[in-house]
Amino acid sequence: PEWLAAVPDRGDFGGPVSLKATQGNPPGADPRSATITFVAANGDKMRMTITQSAQEVYAVTYNLMDLTRSNPADAALQGETYSTVFTADAGYGLPTAITVTMGGVPLAEGVGYNYDSATGEFTVTDVTGDLEITATGTLQAITVTAVIMTVTPFGTLPSNTFTSTTDITQAELNILVTLNTGCHIVDWYTTDNPLGVEAVFPVTAATTLYARLDGDGSATSAPITIVTAAELEALSVRVNTASGTAGAGLYYKLIADINLSDYGQGSSFNDGKGWIPIGDNNARPFRGHFDGGGFKITELYINNTVHDNTGLFGNVTNGTIQNLGVETAAGGITGYRYVGGVAGQVNNATVNNCYSTGTVTGGSYIVGGIAGSVGFFAVVSNCYATCTVSGTYHVGGIAGMAMGGNVINCAAFNPSVGRIDGGTYPQYFGRVTGGMIPGMSTMDGCVAYSGMTATGGISFTGLNTQDQWDGTSVDASTSKATYVGMGWLFDDSLPTPGPWVWDEAGFPRLSFGPAANPF
């Protein structure tokens, strides 16, 4: 056969050529050689004889498990060196020894071949037969460091590591945790965050796993944890659709910020009226204990102009709300009577270490930035509000009215408190509270922003019957010492630290509260 080859000029022999190969060799010629003749266009010829090597070609066979090799060749030449490098698969180590045969005969390490178990380098220096190499990766010891999530410290870890030469199952990890009474493990996560990625079992590589613990609500050491908006809604449904004692005495704890936008303006939830308060009427109040854990509820929206007891919580009776931030959506909270950012009314209950931001509006009376009504034997303490608050009367920056309860060490940093159209009692408004039952309620250590605006034809001076409704005026020039002198406890107070921190901009806030300057 002929092939036309275009090659560059090479002196006298160049240009297009015909490449002709011999069809065979004459009798007696070496069968491992062949002669090729190149013919140029001008008739010049050049012959080349190719002789096959006398080396044998031997097969190389691998029997590998959990290993890979760097040399892809499956053949080796006689007398030459064959080499490769082994790499262990994930979760495995290099074998300490391998098995090699050549021509079916086992080879001794260091004599017929060399293998470095530290680097995986393998060499046969003189191939004289077919090679067969057998090697298996060694399963590395897997160490899992088990940690309890900082937001669910409801147990202890006598030992926080577990090491095995086999894949580690969840059952093996569970035995490491000593749980508080009433607690259990919800799941294991790869980050210290219940909203993070859940661990996949079995574990096949060294890692740190975080256990989210949960309780039955029987004690502060075993609270029912809430991490999603759906779980918070489930609490609302439980309280609002059962008897008045549903969840009574149980402990709940928020362990992440919760965004309620799915229940907000523009959603179909509750016919577009927004969030349904937890404990939505006097017959079914919230009677439990809710610890916000320093987290916040955001995008809270309620627009129910005929509903009493309106807020994140409606009616809280014989319960507690603490360590919680409430931030409304742009549409804010709108109810009828007993409206508050945290709770509509509080009776024989405590709201402590809470803040609210946004807008709170009542179509009628008893409206406050934190709570609408602070009823008999109730206490609202160490709270502050930066929300705009309005209603017809009994309206205050912290509480609409103290109806036998006490408001202590609270800060009304609201930009405005005002009266809406239809209000007929301009005297029942205050910067801190919009009314108090004399002799049955107290307000102690409370402050209010001196620049707060009174809207709707009301005034904070001379129109109320008790000047203490307005609290002590403060602004950006007020020193920390002023608050300390009123009994406020800060994080550096001795001997007992308190919930307040002094922001470098010159105002107090809760440690988990927003750093936005209210002045």
pLDDT tens profile 437-452: 988 999 999 999 999 9
Mean pLDDT of 137-164: 91
Q: How many angstroms separate the CA atoms of 76 and 507, rounded?
A: 81
Query: Is the backbone peptide bond immediately before 285 cis, with ω within 30 degrees of 0?
Result: no
Residue 467 has pLDDT above 80, yes or no: no
Reading phi first (left if > 0) and then psi (alpha if -120 to 50, else beta), residue 299 is in left
Residue 44 has pLDDT above 90, yes or no: no
> Which of the pair, 176 or 145, is modelled with greater confidence?
145
Give 33's pLDDT tier (boundaries 50, 70, 90): low
Name the pTM for this structure.
0.77
Alpha-carbon distances, residue 456 vs 340, 366, 416, 425 (angstroms): 19, 16, 10, 11
> Which of the pair, 91 or 421, is modelled with greater confidence?
421
pLDDT tens profile 482-515: 999 999 999 999 999 999 999 989 999 999 999 8
Q: Looking at 403-452, which runs of residues are DSSP E strands?
A: 406-408, 411-412, 416-419, 429-430, 442-444, 447-449
pLDDT tens profile 100-116: 999 999 999 999 999 99
Residue 20 has pLDDT above 70, yes or no: no
Nearest to 323 by CA among 211, 399, 431, 223: 223
Q: Looking at 304-404, which runs of residues are DSSP E strands?
A: 313-317, 320-335, 339-340, 343-347, 350-357, 359-362, 367-368, 371-374, 379-381, 384-385, 388-391, 395-396, 399-402
Residue 354 has pLDDT above 50, yes or no: yes
Q: Under 8 Å CB-to-CB from 503, ≥6 apart: which residues?
A: 509, 515, 517
Give 50's pLDDT tier (boundaries 50, 70, 90): low
Mean pLDDT of 81-99: 93
Q: What does the pLDDT read at residue 141?
A: 86
pLDDT tens profile 376-386: 999 999 999 99
**Averaged pLDDT score across all residues of the chain:** 89
Nearest to 399 by CA among 446, 366, 426, 376: 366
Mean pLDDT of 131-151: 93
Residue reference for tokens 């406050």: 368
Q: What does the pLDDT read at residue 224?
A: 97
